[in-house]
Structure formats: C-alpha cells, structure tokens
Chain A
Amino acid sequence: MLLGIGFLLAAVVWPFVGKEYQVYLSLSFFSYSIALLGLNLLFNYTGLISFGHALFLGIGGYTAAFMTHKYSILSMELIMVVAVLLSGLVAFLTGLICVRYIKIYFAMLTLAFGMLFHSFLMKTYALTGGDEGMHVTQPKLLSMDLSQMDKMSFFSGPYYFYSLVLFLAAAFLMWRIVHSHFGLSLQAIRDNPDKAEYLGVSIRRYRLYAFVISGCFAGLGGALMAPVTGHMDPAMVFWTHSGDMVFMALLGGFSNFFGPMLGSLVFIFLRDAVSSFTEYWRFIFGALLAALVILAPGGLMGLLGRAWASLAGARGSGEQAT
C-alpha cells in the first residue's frame, strides 16, 4: 500500500523533476507495462508462455498508424477502442487454435502467428509500407488539439499524464481480473488442470478468455506506444520483440503481479544507460538474462522478497536475543 502511494507520488512528480528525455523514456514504460499485464495473465496466471505477443503490440500500433496517417482520425480514445477491439478479435481467432495446446506447442503457435503477421506486413508494401513501415501522426487527447505544442513538451506533459492514468486504470482492471473468480479459476487450471476440469471449470474456454484479454491489453499498449515512437515498422512484431517482452516479465519477476512492470522499467532505463556507453548492450542483456534464468528465476521481485525476508529474519532473531 505504502509502496503504491510512493510510486504514484513519484510518477506524478517525475515530469517536473526528471530530464525531458527521461520522462519521454518512461512513456515506453507505461505502454510496455500495459502490454505486460496482458502477457503475464497468460504467463503467470494461466501458465502459458507466448512467444508471439508482439503481434498484438503490432496490431495496436498499426491501428494507430492507419487511423492517424491514412484516415486522419486523430482521436486517441477512438484509436484505442479500435485497437483493443481489433486485437481482441485477432486474439479470439488465433486463440481458438492456440489454446488447444500448452507448453512448447503453445509457444510455437503464438510465434508462428506473430511471424505470419510479420511477413504479411513485409510483403504488403502498398498497404503498410513494407519494411519501411508507416508514420504515426500525433493524436488528439480527449479531443484537444495539442499539435501547436512542441513535440517534447507534448510527450513529457499531457501525453505523460494521459499514459499514466491509462496505465493505472489498466493495472487496476487487471488486479481485479486476477483476483476475481475467473482469475482464480485460471490459476487452478495452471496448477492442476485435471482437478479444475473435474470441478467444472471449462479449461479451453477459460484459456481462450485469458488469451483474448491478454491480447486486448497488449493491443492497448501498442496503440499507446505508437505515437511515442512516431513510426511503426515490422520489427515491432518480429519474434525477438516478443522475446524481449518475456525477458521483461522474467526480469521483474513474473510470479508477482507488479514484477513485469518493474521489469519493463528496469529494462528500458538500463538499456538506455548501457547503450550510452557501449553499442554492445545486447551482449550485456543476454548475459543478464542468462544469469537471471539460472540464478534468480524469481526476478528482481524474487530477490527483493528474499532480501526482505532475510532482513526481517535477522531482526526477528535479534529481538529474541535481547
């Protein structure tokens, strides 16, 4: 609770104290976090690992690109509604197939669908600009035309708070979902599918619901991300980008509700810091990922939890001694 209030205060004060560029970077944090809320509904709460979640980021992002750039529809709210509906639809159609499988087969199917969309984007040059991608025009927020603002102050001002509010709303919604009857059923399916089925939980249907919700969150994240980068290209949906998302979730600790958010925060700012002194940030991140997988599969949240427990333990035994 205290941590939550602390985060909120920090997030509100941040644009006034942080450097403009760093405030701009935190916009990626908001959009990735929203997408990761979705990814983690599958990864942690349903026990399914998606290696193709960038597909939904891409659908959200390309929705924003199409609407703003091709059709001059600049209302961010409308863009997000369409992005969520479209990703939900695609998640439903692909999910019908994907949720029939678990484990490595689920991962492979999601990867295949992601790459199918990637090759579609690459080859439909006339429609999507192929590998050059598409421009994303600065949208209107709540029907306010802010195009006269200079780009940086738009992003570190109104867009920042807009994203923050969305992020909080998305996190609140997901919190409610995972603590609802539905969320608990998903965890029951993850832990013991046979027992859950015996108790009357329809496994496939619940997995499909989770997949659709997960896709919607990722689509929303993608739509929010698009104006920030100002550009959409197929690299957005390439399988390595999906891998990065899973990386973020693991980095923060996917078995904790807040872990993936911490993961995206650290990933984004650490990458920025590392790539400012070496161009070989991938090597460092690869080594970091390997170390995490082998030594600390609970991620940063796991490490913090362990440190906290040993601290509390030390204090507890200290009290006994006196």
Chain B
Amino acid sequence: MAVLLNILSSGVFNASILFLVAAGLQLVFGVQKVFNLACGSFYALGAYLGITFVDAFTGAGGPPLLSFIPLLAAGVLLGALGPLVERGLLRFVYQRDESFQLLLTFSVVLMFEDVIRFFWGTYPRSPKGVYLAFGTLHIGGATIPVYNLLVIGASVLIASLMGYVLGKTRFGRIIRATASHSEMAQALGIRSSVVYMKVFTLGTVLGTVGGALVIPTTAAVSEMAVHLIVLAFAVVVIGGLGSMKGAFVGALLVGLLKSVSIAVYPELEMMLIYLIVIGVLVMKPQGLFGGTS
C-alpha cells in the first residue's frame, strides 16, 4: 500500500511537470504546425533561472515557504524569449518543409545549451533548502513531500485555466480558428502573426514554468534540456500531436510508467516508454487523442 502510494505520488508529480512542457509543445504544434524541439531548452532555462531567483530570495531573508513566488517569476520573465525566438527566427520558416522547421528549433537548442553553460557553468546545481522546508505528509505509511502535492495542484490549476481560456474566451476561439483554418481566420481580420507570437510565448512560459517548478526537487544539469525533449516527445506522440487532452493523458501515462518502472524494474525505464511510443505510432499514428484539438 505504502509502496503503491509512493509510486503514485511521484508518478503524478512527474506527469504534472511533463504536462506543462508538453502542453506548450502541443499548443505551438497545433497552431503553427511546428514541432518545437526548443521546449526542452525553455524547461532547462526555467530551472536554472528558478534556482538563481530562489537563492536570491531566500538569501535576502525570504521565507522558503514562499519560494513559489520567485520560481513563478523566473518562469514568467523568461516568457520574453518567446517573441524573440518566434519573431526573430521561427516566423521565417512557417511555409517551409518540416525538416527546416525541425532544424531551426534544433539550432535554438544548441544555442541555449551554451547560454546556460555561459551563465551557470557545467556543475549540477540545486536551490538550497527549499524542498525540505515544505515538509512531508504521512498517509497510509507512505511519505509524500508536500511540495510535490503543491506542484500537482498548480499544474491542475494551469491545465484548467488553459482549458477555460482555449475553450471559453475570445482569445481561445481566435487560437482555435487560426489552428484549424488559418487562411479563413486571416480573411476574417485576425492577424495571424500576432496570434503566432502570443501562442509561442504561451508555449514558452509553460515550458519555463515547468522547469522552474521542478527544480526544488532535483538538480539542474546541462543535459536536462535534451533529455526532457525526448520525454515531452513521447508524451505528445502517445497523446496525439496538437491535442491538449492528449498531452494530459500522455503525461500521466509517461509519468506513471516512469515511476512504476523505476520502482519495479529500473532497467526497463526509458526502453518501455520508447516501445510504447513506437507501438502507438504503428497502431494509431495520430496518437490516442489526435485530431481532437
């Protein structure tokens, strides 16, 4: 029972972080049809800047229990990179072949990898004494860190907020219109360049916030971007490219699988995930929820 609870809680925690990054990936793929490899870089940047902000915050006497504030601030501030990358690079390749789009986002990954090295060096880093400050809960013999629960809550909150914005607001309708019929939307007077920029920025913030929120629980390392990309990739392929529901289910599946296999049979961990990815691509290439944007 206790083991099961532990697996469940760490799995759902993994999933809630993965969901944020994957949701950003899905949003951009849904609207611009670009598979943004740089989502992993945004995640890594969020993590590193999150550490810097939290350390400054607690160093200045801020209570560790409020470290959500500097973490979210780091994530949101990094959203400024969105317009930079979208207007500066991505907009030139919307009409091109996917190979060029993939390579362009790959070039962003390469650049940000060195940006991180330049500012934060190559040693693993983690913020001091935040995670433990939140304490743990004991339920049914299992020890669950309170911080994890808060992050899960935050992720669910963000997910429902996005669901509301995309489904119920004018901005959401514009996004969906641009995603499904961009020329028609343009004909109706929607400036797609503005929509693209906003969507990409939103996608960026989801990634950076995901990275910022994860960092109290783990150490930031310079390869975290390229490793997260493949996980986010697995999530969206399993869930279905461009689908928010897919990102949600895919993240849960990958997150839980990861924690189950780590607890039961660590040798399988990533292999199992790739096998499922291949299986889904073979059986249902549009993913479990593909086509239902």
Contacts and interface: CB of A to CB of B under 8 A. Distances in A.
B87 to A, nearest CB: 12
A107 B98 contact: yes
B111 A113 contact: no
A297 B96 CA distance: 10
Contacts of B118: 280, 283
Interface size on B, as a range, is 35 or more
A101 B103 contact: no
Nearest to B271: A119
B108 A286 contact: yes
A297 B118 CA distance: 29
A290 B270 contact: no
A36 B269 CA distance: 31
Nearest to A242: B106
A103 B92 CA distance: 19
B22 interface: no
B274 A116 contact: yes
Contacts of B110: 282-283, 285-286, 289
Contact of B278 (A97, A240, A281, A287): A97
Contacts of A101: 281, 285
Interface residues of A, number: 44
Contacts of B89: 290, 294
Interface in B234-264: 234, 237, 241
Residue with the greatest number of chain B CB neighbours at <10 A, chosen from A111, A122, A246, A290: A290
A123 B281 contact: no
A108 interface: yes
B288 interface: no
A289 B99 contact: no
Contacts of A29: none
A244 to B, nearest CB: 9
Interface in A232-256: 238-240, 243, 246-247, 250
Interface of A: 43, 49, 51, 97, 100-101, 103-105, 107-109, 111-113, 115-116, 118-120, 122-124, 238-240, 243, 246-247, 250, 279-283, 285-290, 293-294, 297
Give the 10 A-B CB pairs with smallest separation, nearest first: A286-B110, A286-B111, A283-B114, A289-B107, A119-B270, A116-B274, A49-B99, A290-B107, A280-B114, A286-B107
6 contacts: A119-B269, A123-B269, A283-B110, A283-B118, A293-B93, A294-B104
